[in-house]
Amino acid sequence: MLKNKTVNLAGIAYESLVNGEGIRRVFFAQGCIHNCLGCFNKETHDFNGGIETSLDKLLEELKENPIIKGVTFSGGDPFEQGEEFAYLSTEIKKMPLSIWCYTGYTFEYILMNLKTRKGWELLINNIDVLVDGRFEEDKKEDNLKYRGSSNQRILNVKESLAKGESIIYMD
């Protein structure tokens, strides 16, 4: 159970067209252990940075914008604040909006660690589309849609969970 209803954010994109399908609100998590070479969001890696933000305030602001079609969790890595993003995702699904999430972890790693990492099971079950895997600078391609390097996958989470294997949402 989440005691403190806050999340540490590096920033917010209030209306984005590049972080998933449709007009999206993007919450950038503060903190990342992956430290991928060439990451375009390096300022989000430090766990001591960012701004503590009320989860309920984020949800209220989200409800006030009727053109938002979905929410994207990016970072940093949202899975580093699993409980906070699990709470946020549960409340967002009641609106209902789609949820995309970017993580340096692979889907398979997340599944193997569901029981040992707080919030991960609830979080992954609320995500519709997961862009997984570390950014790899040598696999960077400018024409890739919704991802930075060709090793990253865009997965249909609901289908992947149901079938027990990674199911590609789009290439």
Q: What share of the chain is helix, strand, coil (3-state, %, to 5)?
A: 30, 25, 45
Average pLDDT, rounded, for the chain: 95
Percent of residues, the chain, with pLDDT higher than 70: 99
Binning pLDDT at 50, 70 and 90, where does residue 3 land? confident
- Judge whether residue 154 has pLDDT over 80: yes
* Residue 89, domain member (yes or no): yes
What is the residue range of 113's domain? 6-170
Residue 73 to residue 90: CA distance in whole angstroms: 13
Q: Is 25 helix (H, G, I), strand (E, B) or coil?
A: strand
Residue 13 to residue 31: CA distance in whole angstroms: 17
Question: What is the pLDDT, as a whole number, of residue 40?
Answer: 82
> pLDDT of 24-63, one tens digit each?
999 999 999 998 988 888 999 999 999 999 999 999 999 9
Binning pLDDT at 50, 70 and 90, where does residue 82 land? very high
> Average of pLDDT values for 60-84?
97
> Average of pLDDT values for 135-147?
94
- Judge whether residue 142 has pLDDT over 70: yes
What is the torsional sign of CA 122, 148, 9, 66?
negative
* Residue 1, domain member (yes or no): no
Residue 138, domain CATH:
3.20.20.70
* Residue 64, domain member (yes or no): yes
Q: Is 95 helix (H, G, I), strand (E, B) or coil?
A: coil
* Residue 30, domain member (yes or no): yes
- Please count the structural domains in the chain: 1
> Average of pLDDT values for 144-153?
95
Q: What is the pTM of this model?
A: 0.95
Question: What is the pLDDT, as a whole number, of residue 1?
Answer: 60
